[in-house]
Amino acid sequence: MTEDTEIMQAVSEDSADSVTETEPTVRTRSHSKPKSGIAGWLGGLSTPVRWTVIIGVAVAGLLLISVGADAAFSAGRVHPGVKVAGIAVGGMTRAEAAAAIDSGTKPLLDRPVKVTIEASSWDITAAQVGASIDASALAETAYGIGRTGGFGGVVGARITAWLGRENIAAVVTADEVLVSTVLGDIDADVSVPAVDASVEVSGTDVRLIADKGGEGVDHSVARELILKAFVLENRDIELTLVPQAASIREEGARAAYDDALRMVSGPLKLVYDKKTWEVSAKTIGGWLAFRSAGATASAEASSGTLECYLDSAEVSATVVPLVKEVGKVAKDASFKVASGKVTIVPAQDGLGLDAEDLADRLMVALAGTGERTAELPMQRVEAAITTDDAKAMGISTRLSTYTTSYSAGNAPRVNNIHVLADALDGTLVAPGEVFSFNGAIGQRTAEKGYQEANAIVNGVLVPQLGGGICQMGTTVFNAVFFSGLPVVERHNHSLYISHYPKGRDATVSWGGPDFKFRNDTENWILVATAYTSSTVTVSLYGTETGYKVTYNTGPFTNTVAYKVREIKDATLPKGTKVVDEKGVSGRTVVVTRKVTLNGKVVREDTFKSVYKASEEVVRIGTKETKPSTPSTSSP
């Protein structure tokens, strides 16, 4: 390539009209082709523009290098200069930042927020509203500074952080249920509840009661202010009560008022078949009830409406006795036992009043403008236990039976045994169900026919309402014992009673010991009872189980002699002894039962009875007797 050298004079750009001679300048001009690409593009620009571009590119390059260096420096760490609630977390890992935030913000929740409404105030603690600050979430937010929002956002955020202007506010969260409870308590102290419009009916007198507005706490505003205050220096909040409108305005209750007036405007005639009954307007007034029926647009705001309706329970309470002559009570299917066999007594359907349907019919008759007459809607009432239900229970075989005896001379005790037997007779035990003696019989009360008779209480024989129940408890236990069914709970008497089977007695008491067994068969079990003046029998019926029962009664052990307590009695001649209470020795006996099915042992039970000793009480006579003096004759 050849080059030409020429001497050129520089022309001053300050003046386009004059030319000033300057020092000669030597320039080299190439005779090669013009340059292409960025260099060519730059060469085509004027000198000031060219330098502006070059400087801009240089600055951008330096900025990229700086941002890259900054990003490398803060890799995995919060950008320097970032603060959370005034706590410097720049340069920390997220875990370190979370720990610093947690430590730094904990004191914020130690001071209560004081809420004042008029003359009342409350100190609300963080614990009361479940207030907390999520340090981990704040650390994540801090870590995100300078890492999101595109290049411009990243650069801007990092510059702001370097200048110390990135300070993330702490956010307090709370348990909404606790907040609602606290605000509800405040509301209850200071609010004046709004009163809905209503309708009052007394006989045939109907009155429309206007609504009344109230005032209370705006929960959403109060919640926001309380939570924000936990991170402020000034924690005093003043709230004002806001007006609260009634849910049902007077205009929303007027239709119900008009309906009520029509309903009590005269008597009502009830008709069934050829029978009629008249119900007075005053009685009808007692049927009326009112309920909210949704919202409707009023002139001022959306408010609810009141609806007048007939209370079906009140209607039934009046009409059912009135028309009982046309009704019929349904009878459940039952079981009858005789000579060890069981038969089903079929169920009988009843005829009853359809109260809901009647209420609808009465509404039409009373609220309309037609004749005030309604026909009684009678319906068939199916028994709770139908004949088919009874058949499906599978009660066909006597599983076991047991009889105990007692003295026919103790009338109150005999009465109680018979009342208990009647209460227990016909009890049904579902498959898998646990039978409870106390649950089946219920509390023994005078209203049920129980009388006072002797019973053992804490080892002492005392008169008690329902005395004699243990006779039934023992009889039921032995019936279950020989059925092979599993015994769940059984307690022996505190004293040994010789006329009960040795080691096979069972004591029961309301609120105390109970007797329980489980029906482990796939079908129902029927408990049937029978009695005479001196015996009571309990039988269990169900589906044949195949259980075979064998048992063994052990000897008495741990015999404890009873003590004798003597009481001096001045009414008895000296030397006379009368036993008031016969002593009973303490003792222990064990009865074992083995239940087998097809030769395999199903269960083995051990029934251990520990009886206490009971002292003997003897009265000793101390009365002195004077010796008789023989008579003498005078000389």
Closest CA to 554 of 588, 591, 502, 506: 591
Show Cβ contacts of residue 335 under 8 Å, excluding neighbours closer than 6 positions. 342, 343, 344, 345, 390, 395, 426, 526, 528, 541
Q: How far apart are the first and last CA of the chain?
A: 203
Confidence band for 371, pLDDT divided at 50, 70 and 90 = confident
Q: Is the pLDDT of residue 240 over 80?
A: yes
- At 54 the pLDDT is 63
Confidence band for 78, pLDDT divided at 50, 70 and 90 = confident
The answer to whether 177 touches 123, Cβ cutoff 8 Å, is no
How much is the pTM? 0.55
- Summarised one tens digit per residue, pLDDT across range 372-419 is 999 999 888 899 999 999 999 999 999 999 999 998 888 888 898 999
The answer to whether 402 touches 538, Cβ cutoff 8 Å, is yes
**Mean pLDDT confidence for 598-602:** 95
- Please give the Cα distance from 607 to 389 (Å, whole number): 37
- At 445 the pLDDT is 85
Confidence band for 55, pLDDT divided at 50, 70 and 90 = low
Closest CA to 260 of 285, 278, 282: 285
SS3 of residue 613 by DSSP: coil
Q: Which of the residue ranges 161-175, 347-361, 445-459, 530-544 would you say has the lowest mean pLDDT?
A: 445-459
Who has greater pLDDT, 546 or 167? 546
Alpha carbon distances (Å) from 556 to 378, 591, 610? 67, 11, 10
- Please give the Cα distance from 128 to 109 (Å, whole number): 11
- Summarised one tens digit per residue, pLDDT across range 262-302 is 999 999 999 998 899 999 999 999 999 999 986 554 434 45
- At 189 the pLDDT is 92
Q: Is the pLDDT of residue 510 over 90?
A: no
Show Cβ contacts of residue 511 under 8 Å, excluding neighbours closer than 6 positions. none
Q: Is the pLDDT of residue 595 over 90?
A: yes
Q: What is the CATH number of domain 254-391?
A: 3.10.20
Confidence band for 39, pLDDT divided at 50, 70 and 90 = low
Confidence band for 616, pLDDT divided at 50, 70 and 90 = confident
- Please give the Cα distance from 597 to 72 (Å, whole number): 83
- At 352 the pLDDT is 86
* C-alpha angle 481-485-486 in degrees, rounded to nearest 5: 95
Q: Is the pLDDT of residue 321 over 90?
A: no
List the chain domain ranges.
Answer: 3-73, 77-246, 254-391, 393-621
- At 329 the pLDDT is 87
- Please give the Cα distance from 468 to 80 (Å, whole number): 89
- Please give the Cα distance from 421 to 14 (Å, whole number): 133
Q: What is the mean pLDDT of the chain?
A: 83
Tokens 């019989």 map to which residue? 441
Give a three-class secondary structure readout of 220-245. HHHHHHHHHHCCCCCCEEECCCEEEC
- Summarised one tens digit per residue, pLDDT across range 212-230 is 999 999 999 999 999 999 9
Who has greater pLDDT, 192 or 59? 192
Show Cβ contacts of residue 382 under 8 Å, excluding neighbours closer than 6 positions. 330, 347, 349
Instruction: Give the largest Cα separation in the chain, rounded.
Output: 208
Who has greater pLDDT, 154 or 359? 359
- Please give the Cα distance from 62 to 58 (Å, whole number): 6
**Mean pLDDT confidence for 112-141:** 92
